[in-house]
Structure 1
Amino acid sequence: MRYFIHLAYDGTAYSGWQVQPGVPTVQEALNTALSNVLRQSVRTQGSGRTDAGVHASHQVAHFEADFPPEMTLDLLRYRLNRALPPDVQVFRIHEVDERANARFSAEARTYEYFVRLRPDPFRRDQALYLDRGRPDVGAMNVAASYLVGQFDFTAFSKVKGAETHYICCLYEAGWHETAEGLVFRIRANRFVRGMVRLVVGTLLDVGRGKLTPLEFQQVLHRQQRIAASGAAPAKGLYLSRVEYPAGIVPAADVREPA
């Protein structure tokens, strides 16, 4: 049987989602816990990769396994969370059709980037602290509005990525004020490697007055990686929602954005 597993993790201690030799990864921790609890070799496929230090409040993976007679979904979740490190925890597991794929069936993904405007020792690894004053949120939102639509995001991609193309369709991109600071929310059908952190880093330069919103738009249209600013630190970035067509995820399991 095939199952979807929904989980959250603090990525601080991990070299990203994907299994890599010799370094700790979230996927390896999940594979190990599933294999130990179910007493069989289990391998997962995630909805997407997150880089080293990036977090997820909603990641989805699928796996195939034969459950022992006494194993229920609730019992599996309970035992997994006891077997997993405390910075990786599962909140939903459900059966899916064998054709459902955590990565390729996803219709949209949402990332959020958190910025603090005052120091917070309790969130030092979970948000970016801006220590040089408040950025111009209005200018950043004007610039972000130019991202909505279908564009080639070569300018906001890591060099030597594995992508066959860099075209993404963005449904939402904007900054929102919170009691603690700012959060940037971006939703699209797909993302190229490193895209969100490069977008955030360049938008923050708009907020600091180093670029105008129009110059930001020109960076996008130039389709040259050298035109964008440096990437924002990984610690502020979260994969926050993965969306699937109706019928794949039971209604009670659909996660709404914060």
Structure 2
Amino acid sequence: MRYFVAFSYFGAAYHGWQIQPNAITVQEELEKAFSTLLREKISLMGAGRTDAGVHAKQMYAHFNVATIANEEDLVRRLNSFLPDDIAVQNIINVPEDAHARFNATERTYEYWVTQHKNPFTIPSTYYVKQELNIGKMNQAAALLLGRQDFECFSKSKTDVKTFYCNVKKAVWEQKEDKFVFTITADRFLRNMVRAIVGTLLDVGTGKITVEHMHTVISSKSRAEAGTSVPAKALYLTQVLYPENIIKKTNG
């Protein structure tokens, strides 16, 4: 039978989601826990890849196993077995052809920026010393909306068939002492969100104009976009699926 597992993690100690030969990853820790408790080799397919240091408030992966007698009990045992920075929220029986990556219809990320130096939030936010013009940053962010070629924000030499993504939301909001950038799209390219945030911060500090965002996007050149911001302040916050896979359990 096929199951989805819903989980979250604080990514500071991990070299991203995907298993790598000489680094600790979230996938490795989860597969080890599942395999130990279910007493067979379990392989997980994640909804996507997060880079080293990136966090996830909501992430999904699918796996196959003959049967699970009690999903709630397995969740409890997994959370007892896993390290403190990884937590499982739910295990859901899904159709046999359900795919955590390919069936996802939307993904949402947040990026947290602060202008107030605070030693207690340094590990999870990006401290920007220069004054930021959030109004201009939102004007530039609005230019990201719709289906466009975002090669300019993609990591170089990445193996993808298309650079087109449909961005449905891109907005900066002040939440307590943070400026939070929220972006939702059907798919994301590698390094895309961090490159977008770096470019929008250039707008906010006056390094480039709002209008220059048109030039950046049309150039299709990573060299035209801003510097990638640190991974430590990036959060995958939501992954959505059709209701025939997961019925109103998102969010």
Partner of 1:63: 63
* Distance (whole Å) between structure 2 residues aligned to residue 148 and residue 58 of structure 1: 23
Relative to the length of structure 2, the TM-score reads: 0.98
By how many angstroms is 1:126 displaced? Answer: 1.1
Counterpart of 1:228 in structure 2 is 225
Determine if the alignment matches structure 1 residue 90 to structure 2 residue 88: yes
Contact 2:9 2:85 in 1 (8 A): yes
Once the 2 structures are TM-superposed, how far is the Cα of residue 164 of structure 1 from its aligned partner? Answer: 1.4
Q: Are positions 1:239 and 2:236 aligned together?
A: yes
Q: Which runs of 4+ in 1 moved over 4 A?
A: none
Please provide the CA RMSD for this pair. Answer: 1.0
User: Which residue matches 2:46?
Assistant: 46
Q: Structure 2 counterpart of 1:78, which letter?
A: R
TM-score by length of 1: 0.95
Given the alignment of the two structures, is residue 254 of structure 1 paired with residue 245 of structure 2, yes or no? no
CA offset digits 1:178-235 (Å, max 9, x no partner): 1121100000011111000000001001000001010022101111111011101001
Contact 1:108–1:243 (CA under 8 A) maintained in structure 2? yes
Deviation digits for residues 141-164 of structure 1 (CA, Å, limit 9, x no counterpart):
000000001111110000011211
Q: Which amino acid aligns with 1:102?
A: A
User: Quick one: percent identity of the two aligned structures?
Assistant: 44
Whether the aligned pair in 2 keeps the contact of 1:156 and 1:195 (CA below 8 Å) is yes
Q: Out of 129, 132, 135, which is 2:132 matched to? A: 135
Aligned-partner residue type, residue 81 of structure 1:
N
Deviation at 1:92, TM superposition (A): 1.2
Out of 185, 203, 207, the position equivalent to 2:200 is: 203
Consecutive unaligned residues of structure 1, counting only runs of 5 or more, are: none
Q: Distance in 2 between matches of 1:58 and 1:180?
A: 23
Task: Say if 2:194 and 2:230, in contact at 8 Å, map to a contact too.
Answer: yes
C-alpha distance in 2 between matches for 1:120 and 1:26 = 28
Please say if 1:188 is aligned against 2:185. Answer: yes
1:72, 1:189 → 2: CA distance?
A: 33
Q: Does 1:107 align with 2:80?
A: no
In 1, Cα distance between equivalents of 2:178 and 2:34: 37
Question: Residues of 1 paired with 2:177 and 2:32: CA distance?
Answer: 36
Q: Give distance in 1, aligned partners of 2:46 and 2:4.
A: 10
Q: Give the letter aligned to residue 76 of structure 1.
A: L
The question of 1:163 aligning with 2:184 is answered no
Per-residue Cα deviation, 1:94-152 (whole angstroms, up to 9, x for no partner): 100011100000001001101122122222221111123x3000000000000001111
SS across alignment from 1:63: strand
SS in 1 for 2:107: strand
Q: Does 1:26 align with 2:26?
A: yes
Of the candidates 122, 145, 148, which is equivalent to residue 148 of structure 1? 145
Checking the alignment, whether the CA contact within 8 Å between 1:38 and 1:67 is kept in structure 2 is no
In 1, Cα distance between equivalents of 2:156 and 2:99: 28
* Structure 2 residue ranges without an equivalent (≥5): none
Name the CA distance, whole Å, in 1 between partners of 2:4 and 2:119.
35
Farther off after superposition, 122-131 or 40-49: 122-131
